[in-house]
Amino acid sequence: MDVSGLGSLGKESPPTSASFSSHSSASSEPSSTPAMAPTQRARSLHKSAFTATFSKLKTSVYTDNLRPAAPVSSSHFIRTISWNANGSFVATGAADKTLRIWNPERTNVKNSTELRTPGPATISLERVAFHPINENELASCSTDGMVRFWDVRSKASVGEVRVGEQPFTLAWTPDGTNIVAGRKVSITTGTAWPIIC
């Protein structure tokens, strides 16, 4: 794996549907805390508290198919998912370049927004990652060697960086000032050269 650093500019379904599940607290009270990156690591749950904690969650199924009874191509299966900083959006990505923004309260695909990933049909979307602080910024990487930055309000790509090879994973720094992209490289070379942009 090669790691590239780039400056800045989360119920099972049948195998014929592309879907994901979200879990949320049964409480619908809004948070009074501003959306920020966490300042400290959350504590692990003790084994005895696990059942009591997770039994309070509800499951919602989101199906990315306008005709739920129709079979879905395996290239359209959701392969990546990301919550935004304040929990108001969920982004999903599929191998067929479908990048979709969902409202977690509305599970119907008609209530989602599709962002158009440019390029030929042979390109696959590998990963999506929301900015850890700005709830409207999103990054994606695809097999064409590009990391794209999106603004969900304008529904458009606002920038892109060519990292080469095939980026397959993304991670933002906690403060959102940088993002790193992991690339697939030839194992025979035995070297990994990070690209810093």
**At 111, is the pLDDT very low, low, confident or very high (cuts 50, 70, 90)?**
confident
Q: Which residues pair with 14 in a beta bridge?
A: none
Residues 6+ apart with CB under 8 A from 164: 4, 145, 183, 195
Q: Is the pLDDT of residue 104 over 50?
A: yes
- Among the residue ranges 7-21, 62-76, 123-137, the one predicted with the least confidence is 7-21
Could you give the CA distance from residue 112 to residue 136 in angstroms, rounded to a whole number? 15
pLDDT attached to residue 108: 80
How much is the average pLDDT of 59-80?
73
pTM greater than the 0.85 cutoff: no
Question: Is a pLDDT exceeding 70 seen at residue 101?
Answer: yes
Residue spans per domain, the chain: 2-17+53-63+74-184
* Residues linked to residue 128 through DSSP beta bridges, in sequence order: 140
d(CA 98, CA 58): 27
- The more confidently predicted of residues 24 and 43 is 43
Nearest residue to 64 (alpha-carbon basis) of 27, 13, 131: 13
Token digits for 75?
A: 């290239």
**Coil, strand, or helix at residue 127?**
strand
Q: What is the mean pLDDT of residues 108-115?
A: 86
Q: Which fold has domain 2-17+53-63+74-184?
A: Methylamine Dehydrogenase; Chain H (2.130.10)
Please state, in angstroms and as integers, the Cα–Cα distance from residue 125 to each residue in 81, 139, 169, following that order: 11, 11, 10
Residue whose entry in the numeric block shows the structure tokens 């079979």: 71
Q: What is the mean pLDDT of residues 160-176?
A: 88
Confidence of residue 45 (pLDDT cuts 50, 70, 90): confident
* Residue 39 pLDDT grade (very low, low, confident, very high; cuts 50, 70, 90): low
How large a percentage of the chain has pLDDT more than 70?
A: 66
